[in-house]
């Protein structure tokens, strides 16, 4: 295998989770997955697990589910960005990679909200971008804390 093929495999391996995350967000950011289309299936699943729920209460629960999806989904894409930067910038520090990952996540979130502003059944909100970034920051902090706690003490002293 030539070094160019190995390099290509490395870059694909580092960045494919980011590409998949962007594709998933692009798919979710369509008219087909607007709030009125997800309410029925999500309500069915909710009631199968937790029992019947009234309409007013369901609206609140549905809102929370969708906003949790923002938080967790963009948290996951933030981790994909973090991993990609960590792999491709070997001499960088965690904070540098985390800031680059946050920038990528914020750019994607803002682009997604801008795209949704053109769809008749979707809304666009800067608050969603903030929520998305909070998800990315939170999951990155959890990874950082986990790395610090799980790091062997002898490596921690050397760093």
Listed range (31-35, 52-56, 69-73, 104-108) with the worst mean pLDDT: 31-35
What is the torsional sign of CA 122, 123, 125, 128?
Answer: negative
Position 158 scores a pLDDT of: 43
* Total Cβ atoms within 10 A of residue 86: 19
Alpha carbon 62 to chain centroid, angstroms: 19
Is 104 buried (19+), middle (13-18) or exposed (0-12) by CB count in 10 A? Answer: buried
Residue 40 scores a pLDDT above 60: yes
Residue 152 scores a pLDDT above 80: no
Position 4 scores a pLDDT of: 65
Rounded mean pLDDT of 31-44?
A: 92
Tally of domains in the chain: 1
| CB burial string 87-99: b at 16+ within 10 A, e below | eeeeeeeeeebbe
Rounded mean pLDDT of 63-77?
A: 96
Dist. CA 118–CA 124, nearest whole Å: 9
Position 157 scores a pLDDT of: 43
Residues near 79 by Cβ (< 8 Å), separated by ≥ 6?
A: 101, 136, 139, 140, 143
Residue 145 scores a pLDDT above 60: yes
Position 112 scores a pLDDT of: 96
Domain that residue 44 falls in? 3-158
- Mean pLDDT across the chain: 91
* Total Cβ atoms within 10 A of residue 129: 22
In a 13 Å sphere around the CA of 19, the CA atoms on its Cβ side amount to 6
Listed range (25-34, 39-48, 74-83) with the worst mean pLDDT: 25-34
pTM score, two decimals? Answer: 0.87
Rounded mean pLDDT of 124-149?
A: 95
State whether residue 91 is helix, strand or coil.
Answer: coil
């Amino acid at each position: 295998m030539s070094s160019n093929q190995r390099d290509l495999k490395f870059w694909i391996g580092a960045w494919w989770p980011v590409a998949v995350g962007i594709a998933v967000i692009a798919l979710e950011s369509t008219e087909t997955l607007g709030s009125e289309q997800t309410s029925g299936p999500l309500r069915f699943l909710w009631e199968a697990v937790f029992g019947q729920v009234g309409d007013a209460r369901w609206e609140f629960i549905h809102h929370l589910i969708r906003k949790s999806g923002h938080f967790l989904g963009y948290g996951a894409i933030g981790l994909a960005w973090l991993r990609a930067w960590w792999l491709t910038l070997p001499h960088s520090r965690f904070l540098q990679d985390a800031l680059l990952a946050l920038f990528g996540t914020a750019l994607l979130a803002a682009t997604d909200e801008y795209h949704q502003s053109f769809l008749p059944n979707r809304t666009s909100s800067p608050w969603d971008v903030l929520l998305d970034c909070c998800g990315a920051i939170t999951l990155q902090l959890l990874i950082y804390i986990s790395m610090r706690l799980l790091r062997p003490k002898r490596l921690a002293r050397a760093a």
